[in-house]
Chains A and B, each alone.
Chain A
């Protein structure tokens, strides 16, 4: 029986592992953390339908049961190709052999403290979107707002579309996340005004535009087109931000109880490391480069090494699941036809 090692236990890794196992392959899923779920496990509710993130993770986990061997707290140390097989050495010193490798090593969130001018880690009321999800889950939202200004700001494109931090690409899902979080904040704190500071609103997905309209129409969320240039703290501890209201053509200053930074995607440390170990190619955005951007999106340039999920660039959950399934089909075709990478 053919066997596959899937590296990374987030949505892409879990979905592809379950599908491969369903198709009768022997699958080992290697995850460096002590639990499965990746970033989505940290999330509270999802766009565009406010569904609990928990449901996705639980459902994916259930499908892995008994069919996939899961190795948690495990990292890949080296990978060697011998006689059409990959020998994968783990940090447990164990060596596994596989007929194909699937890299599902995903992304990291952009470290917000790199945008020094926003004062993450310095000003008390500057948090990231991921921090806010954790606050939503803990139910402590009221404890983190002071009630001084009754205003909350959400900054788009933190670490994305920004040459200053070396990330010129769009992280794709932050816009709709900002709109989703704005609605959640208005629901939880009806007496608060919520502002989204954006450069462009990229409502690319199905129902995203509806969500944007709902944010305006039902929840009165304010949208200010302009990139926040700096944050600071006033004498009461409120966050003061400077932004240009580009549609009014005037700079603007506003004090807030809370400033939320929508940090973008960067390739995860694991993605960069696995790419280096296998000497794979990277795109200009430093994510892994598929063998062909249109036709072979799940192939690496190496025979038997496949790619799934956000290791090849920012993706939503739905797109990641589709991508994981596409990778599974490519692996099945590879086993069936022994077809190497198409030129």
Chain B
């Protein structure tokens, strides 16, 4: 409430005690390579979408893993599923399947299955 001409700031700190890790668990179960990302960023570097938007597949995976899923819907829609990320990933992460699972998880969230 802005009663005095200023408001209380939203906390930028990730409070791991309060985050929701259900999406991460869902993706991990369906696509085990989700676990082995080493955050090298070669996916984002080669990403067609990342060249024109702030989309980063690396960061998307990390934020899901940390349970920060508020912006996932907006972010994941930027992926064009071209598959270049999968080609360059040094750990063999199945990036396309992760994207598909993110969509599924989002759907399950809207119908209260997750």
A contacts B directly (C-beta below 8 A): yes
**A interface residues with partner B (beta carbon < 8 Å):** 149, 151, 213, 216-217, 220, 222, 225, 245, 247-248, 250-255
Choose from A217, A220, A251 the contact partner of B13 (Cβ within 8 Å): A251
Task: Indicate the member of A213, A225, A245, A251 with the most B CB atoms within 10 Å.
Answer: A245
Q: For A255, what are the chain B residues with a Cβ–Cβ distance below 8 Å?
A: 16-17
**B interface residues with partner A (beta carbon < 8 Å):** 12-17, 28, 32, 35-36, 38-39, 58-59, 62-63, 65-66, 68, 91
Nearest-Cβ distance from residue B108 to partner chain A, whole angstroms: 21
Nearest-Cβ distance from residue A255 to partner chain B, whole angstroms: 5
Pairs across A and B, CB under 8 Å, 11 listed: A216-B35, A220-B28, A247-B58, A248-B68, A250-B12, A251-B12, A252-B14, A252-B16, A253-B15, A253-B17, A254-B17
Q: Tell whether A216 pairs with B59 under 8 Å between CB atoms, given A252-B16, A255-B17.
A: no
Flag if B36 contacts A217 (CB, 8 Å): yes
Q: For B32, what are the chain A residues with a Cβ–Cβ distance below 8 Å?
A: 217
Using CB atoms, name the residue of chain A closest to B21: A193
CA A114 – CA B77 in complex, angstroms? 49
Q: For A251, what are the chain B residues with a Cβ–Cβ distance below 8 Å?
A: 12-14
Task: Indicate the member of A213, A248, A255 with the most B CB atoms within 10 Å.
Answer: A248
Choose from B13, B36, B39, B59 the contact partner of A252 (Cβ within 8 Å): B13
Q: Tell whether A213 pairs with B36 under 8 Å between CB atoms, given A251-B13, A253-B13, A254-B16.
A: yes
Q: Tell whether A250 pairs with B14 under 8 Å between CB atoms, given A220-B28, A222-B65.
A: yes
Choose from B16, B65, B68 the contact partner of A253 (Cβ within 8 Å): B16
CA A213 – CA B63 in complex, angstroms? 20
Choose from B17, B36, B66 the contact partner of A245 (Cβ within 8 Å): B66
Q: For B16, what are the chain A residues with a Cβ–Cβ distance below 8 Å?
A: 151, 252-255
CA A251 – CA B13 in complex, angstroms? 5
Nearest-Cβ distance from residue B12 to partner chain A, whole angstroms: 6
Q: For A245, what are the chain B residues with a Cβ–Cβ distance below 8 Å?
A: 14, 62, 66
CA A225 – CA B38 in complex, angstroms? 10
Q: For B91, what are the chain A residues with a Cβ–Cβ distance below 8 Å?
A: 213
CA A254 – CA B21 in complex, angstroms? 14
Nearest-Cβ distance from residue A265 to partner chain B, whole angstroms: 26
Q: For B66, what are the chain A residues with a Cβ–Cβ distance below 8 Å?
A: 245, 248, 252
Nearest-Cβ distance from residue A326 to partner chain B, whole angstroms: 34
Nearest-Cβ distance from residue B92 to partner chain A, whole angstroms: 10
Flag if A247 contacts B62 (CB, 8 Å): yes
Flag if B12 contacts A248 (CB, 8 Å): no
Nearest-Cβ distance from residue B17 to partner chain A, whole angstroms: 5
CA A216 – CA B38 in complex, angstroms? 9
**18 extra interface residue pairs, beta carbon distance < 8 Å, beyond A253-B17, A255-B17:** A213-B91, A216-B35, A216-B36, A225-B39, A245-B14, A245-B62, A245-B66, A247-B62, A248-B59, A248-B63, A248-B66, A250-B14, A251-B13, A252-B13, A252-B15, A252-B16, A253-B13, A254-B17
CA A213 – CA B17 in complex, angstroms? 26
CA A265 – CA B30 in complex, angstroms? 42
